[in-house]
Amino acid sequence: MKGKEQNPALEPVKVEKEGPIAILTLQNPPYNVLTSRVLDALAEAAVAMTDDPQVRCIILTGSGDKAFSSGANIKEMAGMTLEEAVRYSAKGQALTNLLERSPVPVIAAIRGFCLGGGCEISLACDFIVAASDAVFAQPEINIGVLPGWGGSRRLTRAIGVARARHWILTGEKVPAEVALRDGLVDRVVPPAKLLEEAKSLAKVLASKGSTAIAAAKYAVNYASDATRLLGLEYERDLWGVLFQTEDQKEGMKAFLEKREPRFQGRTTWGSREQQYPWKEQWAAYEEAKKEIGVDHPDYLMRPWMELWEKSGRDLLGSVLDLSVSTATTYQEWVDRAWKMAMGPARAAKGNP
């Protein structure tokens, strides 16, 4: 989770195409920090490649040999208010949703550090191919917050409750071989062969029927976590509220000052009862349904096959004409796309 600014001389995301394979490379050396500019560019590239009829698989990787990405820009986040933090979380969640929900399979090719927001982006991909020097972590706890871009949901789904709890509550760095053992990584390869191995897998996926691949992807997501959308708002609420705490301010300040944080310890929980969203699960469930705009839980689980209809393709294309300068743009697109995709199913059920 380094805090260096974007190098203005570089395009934040390099896009290359090799036949049916698109390669998206994060370019903010040396650690490919996820500034807002990088997030904007990655969202645009992901949508453009998903909508490109020639692209059958996407590889996402980082420039250089130090990091896939060391995470979000701490300097950018440190002074955020609750409202700003919630919008920032929504921006990251919508980007990871774009990757997870793309009907095109996405492979993360990881070398070096894959931390914080970088790890959350890799979790939204369908496969992770890791170099033997890759290191994973969700270290947000060390700066007084928690994963805010879907990491608490996706990591738990990928490696199980016990291991995810250890990763998130300790913030420890995890080498590639341990991530493979935990079930996060698909394969570990020598660093020099990372892109070659990712391309080899991409060629296999690209050789399959695109509609069948999309259906299989959605079916696996449904089988592994049918209610995967429901935890995201809860995570976002928790993330935002943490930006009202002294521990968040101290943690991020200490990070920027390159020193150990001095956390103050537990406060009086009763005084924060109304402030913290320790919500009943049913309440969170109802809020998530309301946010997506559906009236029955079945509609949360249906795949996005309708996005391949003309209206869906037009909607995917139209996002390129939207401004991506605000934190809500991605989430608005996700909500609109979801409602459009659900339209035929809802109409068939007699819902408006």
Question: How many other C-beta atoms can be found within 10 angstroms of the C-beta atom of residue 137?
Answer: 23
120 included as an active-site residue: yes
The whole-angstrom separation of Cα 52 and Cα 40 is 18
- Residue 138: what are its φ and ψ, rounded to 5°? -115, 85
Q: Which of 16, 18, 84, 120 is catalytic?
A: 120
The radius of gyration of the chain's CA atoms, rounded to the nearest angstrom, is: 20
DSSP string, 150-196: SHHHHHHHHH-HHHHHHHHHH---EEHHHHHHHT--SEEE-GGGHHH
Q: Which amino acid is at 253?
A: K
Q: Are 3 and 255 in contact (CB under 8 A)?
A: yes
Q: Which of 76, 83, 140, 257 is catalytic?
A: 140
250 included as an active-site residue: no
The whole-angstrom separation of Cα 218 and Cα 341 is 13
The whole-angstrom separation of Cα 266 and Cα 279 is 20
Active site residues: 120, 140
